[in-house]
Amino acid sequence: MNSILQMNPKYKWTRGLLLAGLVLLIFSLTGCMYPGDQHSTGSGYRESVKRVQAAVDDYQEQEGLLPIITSDESTPKYEKFLIDLSKLQQKGYLEEIPAAAFEKGGSAYFLILNEETDPVVKLMDLVTVQKVNDVQRQVNLYKSGHGGELPAAAELYPGLSTIDASRAGTESIKLSSVYSGQPLTFIMDKAGTVYADYSPDIRSAIDKNGGTPEADRDLRLELEEASYYVPVKSLPYLWIDGRPVAQSPLE
């Protein structure tokens, strides 16, 4: 059959139409997903996380420790325990490094949460990290050029404000949530440290689950449990007066 298709121009033309139709079908199906779906529920990411989780579990069982890259104690929770994917592959626990991984040109780091009790593999979105860092760089430049003054706009939470994009020069930097695809706001504390505000995503997760969160529960757990992604570049949130409120480290 292959030789017939190659030799007969009619069949070759027909095969081209079929392939073109298949490509259009694939794009139309993926286009139906709402923005952010490819991050939070895409089958490629889901399968990649499952494969790395199995490799981490096997490694810990056989080696007696976790395959993580050593980090500084001051490293934030959602950036701390990065998985050494190369080690997993070299030792035969992982057949190949997932395409989603930064090590393979992807846009995510694989990391471990609950490292001491029940290690679970999650993803850190590097686009979010980069955009927060870009805004941080601009805030630092403004601060150094204005005698320590910050380009603060309105106070959004106690000790935390939004950023005046026109003063900071960050108008072109836009951040979309890995959970919903919706825009997220950049906020900063009184020292000028920049974070992403995940309040809309947290509120959506709570509304979906129903009930009222416990007063002392860090509401970022809602996002941990709902997705393969961690809320990187974030602050703890508490449920106060019927809404998620970010907690400044300086208050």
How do residues 156-213 score in pLDDT, each as one tens digit? Answer: 999 999 999 999 999 999 999 999 999 999 999 999 999 999 999 999 999 998 889 9
Token pair, residue 116, equals 């001491």
Residues in the chain with pLDDT values less than 70: 1-43
Token pair, residue 245, equals 């409120």
Whether 229 and 179 have beta carbons less than 8 Å apart is answered as yes
The pLDDT, as a whole number, for residue 43 is: 57
The pLDDT, as a whole number, for residue 133 is: 98
The pLDDT, as a whole number, for residue 163 is: 98
The pLDDT, as a whole number, for residue 44 is: 75
Q: Where are the beta strands (DSSP E) in 128-246?
A: 152-157, 160-163, 175-176, 183-189, 194-197, 237-240, 243-246
CA distance 199 to 213: 14
Neighbouring CB atoms inside 10 A of 102's CB total 15
Mean residue pLDDT across the chain: 86
The pLDDT, as a whole number, for residue 92 is: 97
The pLDDT, as a whole number, for residue 31 is: 30
Q: What is the tens place of the pLDDT at every residue in 149-161?
A: 999 999 999 999 9
Query: Could you give the count of Cα atoms lying within 13 Å of 138 in the half-sphere of its Cβ?
Result: 20
181: left (phi over 0), alpha (psi -120 to 50) or beta: left
Of 101, 121, 10, the residue nearest 56 (C-alpha): 121
The pLDDT, as a whole number, for residue 42 is: 54
